[in-house]
């Protein structure tokens, strides 16, 4: 190979190396340049973006909005190269505002972000669509979007529920629930038929007291999936007081389970409603599930009453009656009843009462008479107990027998007789002289007493008439009159004197 050929090869090699250097330089420059705005291949992985709003954050009476971050937003870049996007919110209600974000996403990668919104006190509790989260590319072209949902917390809350109930006679149970975190509850034990249930419910306005927004028209409703659970006359709705910010109240509601309620599972639904001063309506529901249970031996004292209802010692005796009912699921042939009070010498013992299982012919009642002779006016306790098998206690009640004093009203009778023309009228007149120290004037008072009698001399009626008699003129009046006459005479003499002089 000659020298010219070798030189030409070297020249070509140098040119090739230079071209490679230029290519590498351009590539390096592009790598460090700003990423371009995306035009395609960008997506939001979530179909719905949620913003959790708690109006408790309002803490000033003049505050219009609160600042709230959305939940996580994931944006994926399906392009092999790095791109820039603008994350924003569109179609918001007029009183809302948002802050957009510019994000850079590497090729075939994802980023997580949150958007900040300024939220007013306008939406009711629960979920509501307020706009869209959008990804904007080059020229603000929309590349993808997801629905923006506002989840608003209720500011009216049942913070705690306590249920008191009976699992058998004189055996009370209670279950408590933190109802701000749960909506459905189940009682731990079965509830005795024809027994009392008490609900203690704590209610609160969660709004800040400095925000100064009350919740008005607060109403609590209690319903059952079977209305036969309640005794007739049960009031389902309860109007409660208005609640100021951060104010708590406790409502206690007691009701009896109807004696004919079926033995099965029941669900109580508690509904609390109210409206705040911004016009937002609140409505929340809680459910309590329980099961009624019928015992084998359940002889219940159903009623004790007296005749008359109000007893006083004006009566010589009183009648009281006791009613029993078999609420169990077994026939009872040896039911017994005892009534005892030592002071009143009451010691009733009745045995071998036959009661069929709950249903037909399951009731028994009897009247008792109490003699009130030598009884004191006071309150007496009657201890009443039912038994099965004649000696096994089942139910007990202490009945208060109130005996009052005998108070007789005294009525004054006035006998009125007509006065005939033939009856004589006797009048007597008594004069009384009264001195008046201030005026030194003597007044004469005449008291006239008229008494009427009939021919038999019986007294019919009497009355006093007081008359005041005054002198026509006093001594002072006479002196003043004389002086006036003298003055008039002097004036006449003066006038006559002047007339004579003029002539």
Q: Which residue shows structure tokens 């002071």?
A: 343
Residue 393 pLDDT exceeds 60: yes
Among 6-15, 346-355, 447-456, the range with the most confident prediction by mean pLDDT is 346-355
**Nearest-angstrom CA–CA distance, 125 and 212:** 19
Q: What is the pTM of this model?
A: 0.67
Least confident of 5-14, 18-27, 45-54: 18-27
**Nearest-angstrom CA–CA distance, 441 and 434:** 9
**Fold of domain 42-152:** Immunoglobulin-like (2.60.40)
**Nearest-angstrom CA–CA distance, 166 and 189:** 9
Residue 380 pLDDT exceeds 90: yes
299-404 belongs to CATH 2.40.50.140 = no
Residue 481 pLDDT exceeds 90: no
For residue 66, give both structure tokens.
């609160």
**Nearest-angstrom CA–CA distance, 471 and 473:** 6
Neighbours of 185 (CB within 10 A): 20
Least confident of 298-307, 336-345, 458-467: 458-467
CATH for 424-469, among 1.10.3210, 1.10.600, 1.10.10, 2.10.70? 2.10.70
Answer whether 404's CB lies under 8 Å from 314's CB. Answer: no
Q: Which residue shows structure tokens 């009657």?
A: 382
Residue 386 pLDDT exceeds 90: yes
- Tell me which CATH homologous superfamily contains domain 156-293: Immunoglobulins (2.60.40.10)
User: What residues form DSSP beta bridges with 152?
Assistant: 53, 126
Strands 237-239 and 265-276: unpaired
Query: Domain-by-domain residue ranges, the chain?
Result: 42-152, 156-293, 299-404, 424-469
Residue 366 pLDDT exceeds 80: yes
What's the pLDDT tens digit per position in 105-152?
A: 999 999 999 999 999 999 999 999 999 999 999 889 999 999 999 999
User: What residues form DSSP beta bridges with 425?
Assistant: 452
**Nearest-angstrom CA–CA distance, 144 and 135:** 5
Strand ranges, E, within 372-498 = 379-388, 392-404, 424-436, 441-453, 459-469
Residue 456 confidence (pLDDT): 41
Residue 417 pLDDT exceeds 90: no
For residue 225, give both structure tokens.
């999936």
Residue 98 confidence (pLDDT): 96
Residue 428 confidence (pLDDT): 40
Q: Assess whether the region 156-293 and the region 299-404 belong to the same CATH fold.
A: yes
Give CA 50 to chain center in angstroms: 34
């Amino acid at each position: 190979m000659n020298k010219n050929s070798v030189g030409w090869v070297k020249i070509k090699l140098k040119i090739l190396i230079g071209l490679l250097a230029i290519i590498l330089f351009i590539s390096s420059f592009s790598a460090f340049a700003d990423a371009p705005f995306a035009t395609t291949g960008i997506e939001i992985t979530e179909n719905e973006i949620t913003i959790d709003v708690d109006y408790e954050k309002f803490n000033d009476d003049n505050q219009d909005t609160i600042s709230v971050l959305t939940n996580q937003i994931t944006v994926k870049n399906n392009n092999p190269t790095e791109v820039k996007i603008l994350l924003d919110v569109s179609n918001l209600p007029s009183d809302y505002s948002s802050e957009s974000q510019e994000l850079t996403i590497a090729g075939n990668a994802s980023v997580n972000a949150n958007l900040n919104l300024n939220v007013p006190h306008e939406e009711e509790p629960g979920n509501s669509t307020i706009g869209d989260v959008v990804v904007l590319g080059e020229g603000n072209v929309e590349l993808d979007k997801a629905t923006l949902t506002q989840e608003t917390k209720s500011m009216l809350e049942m913070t705690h529920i306590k249920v008191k109930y009976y699992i058998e006679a004189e055996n009370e149970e209670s279950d408590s629930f933190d109802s701000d975190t749960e909506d459905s509850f189940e009682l731990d034990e079965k509830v005795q038929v024809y027994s009392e249930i008490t609900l203690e419910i704590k209610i609160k306005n969660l709004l800040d007291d400095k925000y100064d927004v009350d919740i008005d028209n607060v109403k609590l409703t209690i319903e059952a999936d079977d209305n036969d659970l309640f005794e007739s006359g049960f009031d389902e709705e309860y109007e409660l007081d208005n609640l100021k910010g951060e104010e708590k109240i406790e409502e206690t509601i007691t009701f009896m389970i109807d004696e004919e309620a079926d033995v099965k599972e029941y669900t109580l639904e508690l509904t609390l409603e109210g409206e705040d001063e911004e016009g937002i309506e609140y409505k929340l529901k809680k459910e309590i599930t329980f099961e009624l249970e019928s015992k084998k031996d359940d002889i219940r004292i159903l009623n004790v009453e007296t005749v008359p209802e109000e007893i006083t010692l004006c009566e010589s005796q009183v009648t009281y009656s006791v009613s029993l009912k078999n609420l169990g699921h077994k026939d009872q042939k040896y039911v017994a009843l005892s009534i005892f009070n030592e002071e009143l010498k009451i010691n009733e013992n009745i045995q071998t009462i036959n009661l069929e299982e709950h249903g037909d012919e399951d009731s028994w009642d009897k009247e008792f008479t109490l003699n009130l002779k030598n009884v004191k006016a006071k309150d007496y306790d009657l201890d009443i107990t039912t038994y099965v098998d004649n000696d096994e206690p089942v139910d007990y009640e202490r009945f208060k027998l109130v005996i009052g004093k005998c108070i007789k009203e005294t009525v004054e009778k006035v006998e009125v007789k007509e006065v005939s023309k033939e009856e004589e009228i006797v009048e007597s007149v008594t004069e009384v002289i009264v001195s008046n120290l201030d005026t030194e004037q003597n007044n004469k008072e005449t008291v006239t007493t008229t008494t009427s009698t009939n021919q038999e001399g019986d007294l019919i009626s009497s009355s006093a008439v007081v008359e005041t008699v005054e002198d026509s003129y006093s001594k002072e009046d006479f002196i003043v009159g004389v002086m006036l006459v003298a003055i008039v005479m002097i004036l006449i003499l003066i006038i006559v004197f002047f007339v004579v002089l003029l002539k």
